[in-house]
A and B are shown apart, each in its own frame.
Chain A
């Protein structure tokens, strides 16, 4: 299996066009799967040498909402070190700080986490709650080879995305929530480090004067084939303060709607209970 290191976009799409070529970012998912024989590749195309896919820049301003463009090959460690990610996207920072272990965060990338599209992918619930969009790049001429999709449409199933053949994820665009938005992320795993999420919750809430919830965006990881949203529970919270009563009602709605799976890490019942209970933590916000 050859490993190729294209240096420009043109070279990238040329190498990717070869039959059986697969994108290699940090390799923390792909190399494990290739070695176990669950996946195969004729050639690996590393994104390491393409600078425009890496790094963080500010977007928007002047009327447009401010946001961040997170380059696909930016590592989890690099994201965590960025002052705007820490200050303005604390729910994402929290998820990143609990992802894997230090060396996994040094190697693994945001693009890899997104394209792996695991139900337990730790960056996905926060990105989904934040309303992130993906920027996809391809050699095709339409729209100069770039298209944008909401993350929720990009991830089409467990391990499945809307990436077309020969297309790469170039960046994830995240709007920066303005003043008045509160952010929360919590992951429950079997241990603290190196633990795949059993259940996780990302919550983004805007409150008005007096602490009434004006908008609530809730996203759970590991309770379904992809990140799970629960508009019914969000509706319970809107117009109310984050009291234990309101949160308890929302938790009951979550337990009624969620359809989690049994697996080696936890039973469906346990996941159902925890998915609801994680909401109760919001009382401390």
Chain B
């Protein structure tokens, strides 16, 4: 089928099998070549930040926003992207111009191996869109579909809370957590 959708602000048009998984399409297929004068220019929009952890909806590493809604690219098919607007972590911000969440993740040490990070940032962005001043419990709930094998989550929650405070002025409910106080070592 001929598929057209918007990926991180770029209009994408490509030929694909309708049942190709969205995650494979986003990671592998989104390139095209243009003849500009005598130069063959390769446009590479492959979204390698969309990670595959489990492929079965359990880990959240493949989190993307589809028309603003947090979804999983491993549980969507190419045809379901037709006409939609897809945003990945790379669409939220770039290295040169990071999203406040991306900056906060780096500043709070919320990134270790980094495999979960693009999905976490997308999930956090979706959460703050819905609830700009979440409590720590609400942050943990909002990120509960995203697993991290490294950080123990405390620093991730810290990072999201710091951004929420910036968004909301200082009226976000709680103090940044003393880790032991709320049993944070446990998975959500």
Give every chain B residue within 8 A of A100 (Cβ-Cβ): 57, 145
B76 adjacent to chain A (CB < 8 Å): yes
Within 8 A of A (CB), among B127-177: 127, 141-142, 144-146
Stretch at the interface among A137-145, A179-187, A188-196, A267-275: A188-196
Give every chain A residue within 8 A of B188 (Cβ-Cβ): 191-193
B51 adjacent to chain A (CB < 8 Å): no
Indicate which residue in A5, A35, A104 contacts B55 across the interface (CB closer than 8 Å).
Answer: A35
Indicate which residue in B18, B71, B145, B146 contacts A2 across the interface (CB closer than 8 Å).
Answer: B18
CB proximity of B36 to chain A, nearest CB, Å: 34
A207 adjacent to chain B (CB < 8 Å): no
Indicate which residue in A1, A106, A192 contacts B69 across the interface (CB closer than 8 Å).
Answer: A106
Within 8 A of A (CB), among B70-110: 70-72, 75-80, 82
**Could you count the A-B residue pairs with CB atoms below 8 Å apart for me: how many are there?**
76
Give every chain B residue within 8 A of A192 (Cβ-Cβ): 144, 188
Interface residues contributed by chain A, number (CB under 8 Å): 24
Instruction: Select the residue from A2, A191, A192, A194 with max chain B CB neighbours within 10 A.
Output: A194
Give every chain A residue within 8 A of B28 (Cβ-Cβ): none
CB proximity of A244 to chain B, nearest CB, Å: 29
Give the docked Cα–Cα distance between A26 and B142 (Å): 20
What is the interface residue range for chain B against chain A?
20 to 34
Indicate which residue in A1, A32, A101 contacts B19 across the interface (CB closer than 8 Å).
Answer: A1
CB proximity of A233 to chain B, nearest CB, Å: 33
B76 contacts A103, C-beta separation under 8 Å: no
Give every chain B residue within 8 A of A1 (Cβ-Cβ): 18-19
Give the docked Cα–Cα distance between A90 and B31 (Å): 48
Within 8 A of A (CB), among B1-52: 18-19
Indicate which residue in B18, B55, B144, B145 contacts A3 across the interface (CB closer than 8 Å).
Answer: B18
By a beta-carbon cutoff of 8 Å, the part of chain B in contact with chain A is 18-19, 55-58, 60, 63, 69-72, 75-80, 82, 123, 126-127, 141-142, 144-146, 187-188
By a beta-carbon cutoff of 8 Å, the part of chain A in contact with chain B is 1-3, 5, 26-28, 31-32, 35, 44, 46, 48, 100-104, 106-107, 191-194
A-B contact pairs, 7 of them (CB 8 A): A2-B18, A31-B77, A48-B80, A100-B57, A102-B70, A107-B76, A193-B144
Smallest CB-CB A-B distances: 10 pairs: A101-B145, A193-B144, A3-B79, A3-B18, A1-B19, A103-B70, A103-B145, A103-B72, A193-B188, A32-B56
- Beyond A104-B57, A194-B145, 8 additional pairs, beta carbon < 8 A: A28-B75, A46-B79, A100-B57, A102-B126, A103-B63, A103-B72, A103-B123, A103-B145
